[in-house]
A and B are shown apart, each in its own frame.
Chain A
């Protein structure tokens, strides 16, 4: 993904020891009833429920956002169902979040 674009990049797994280079990274996996669920649309919402970003999870269910510090809701939409989880990022670094879809 080049800096001149705006579209959501193809999602990949985020290593637990990733160097976030001073950024707030919110990353994790979408899970269905039978394990990791690929292809869900993952939406980042702020504490007021307002939309901040959306990616499509990888075939392994991975997603990643670069956000500002604060309280966030990560919501997944899939043809098999929806799910969401909350995460609070006090500052830069990796903040992991898992979402169950049912």
Chain B
């Protein structure tokens, strides 16, 4: 798989805004930015209200995904180009989620909204309404999703990659540094996890590093490519970004995203936790 199979550049995006069969979608947790201006023609996906179940802690089921994409005017044969703020964290989560429901024609806009803005490219405030479709998702592919029991069993046997910042990994902080630190769960990390912060996989402008640079990064961190890998963060979006780097750019075959991540693991009773900096 090449970089062009999974990423598009901002230049390509600008040249393909009106290409039939290409749908742009902005994904974020806080959609204020979309409402203020978005890539022309892009539909909005709200990470919280569109992609998460409103009652259970889980994402929407297959029927819910069908209804969402149908309502957004996305067809099974469309190429969906996802982008967003926060260095594409939530767009990467949506990418993983589209793959999980069997939508293979999906790519990320490399660098996301940040790169688009830093390039000085145009944003539109126009309301976007696409004609509804009849979307049909496949059964969820859980070969790319890890659940808590598998994560506990992976201690000392599989690669666990904690992609949070060093201060979150060591237990000094409970959340990224742009958030108040009010969370209640225990701090620290899963024993035997490597700490490879997601930010090391991206350039300053939000674009992904090359596959060669990423391979070197994980080799230096001690990732055993002969083993299965599970990535986690705090709620599963930063680790989707790393899942993309490991599975889609480097091309490792057995990589799962643990979307329960630290907010689940750090609240489990009786599981082992380590604190302190990476060894």
Contacts and interface: CB of A to CB of B under 8 A. Distances in A.
A23 B167 CA distance: 14
A1 B179 contact: yes
A68 B118 CA distance: 29
Contacts of B114: 41, 77
A3 B30 contact: no
A3 B172 contact: no
Interface stretch (A29-37, A52-60, A94-102): A52-60
Chain A contact patch, size range: 20 to 34
Contacts of B183: 3
A65 B178 contact: yes
B118 A67 contact: no
Contacts, number: 101
Given A78-B118, A79-B118, A5 B48 contact: yes
Contact of A6 (B117, B176, B204): B176
Given A53-B177, A66-B177, A68-B173, A4 B30 contact: no
B181 A7 contact: no
B120 interface: yes
A6 B197 contact: no
Contacts of A53: 165, 176-178
B78 interface: no
Nearest to A72: B177
Interface residues of B, number: 42
A79 B233 CA distance: 30
A6 B179 contact: yes
The B interface is mostly helix, strand or loop, or mixed, namely loop
Contacts of B47: 7
A7 to B, nearest CB: 4
A6 B234 contact: yes
Contacts of B166: 46, 50
B39 interface: no
Interface stretch (B86-94, B100-108, B149-157): B86-94
A91 interface: no
Given A55-B178, A65-B178, A6 B120 contact: no
A56 B85 contact: yes
Given A1-B30, A23-B181, A64-B178, 17 more contacts: A1-B179, A3-B179, A3-B183, A4-B235, A6-B29, A9-B179, A41-B118, A51-B197, A52-B177, A53-B177, A56-B85, A66-B175, A66-B181, A67-B173, A68-B167, A78-B118, A79-B117
Interface of B: 28-30, 32-33, 47-48, 85-87, 89-90, 114, 117-120, 165-167, 172-173, 175-183, 197, 199-200, 204-205, 233-235, 237-238, 263
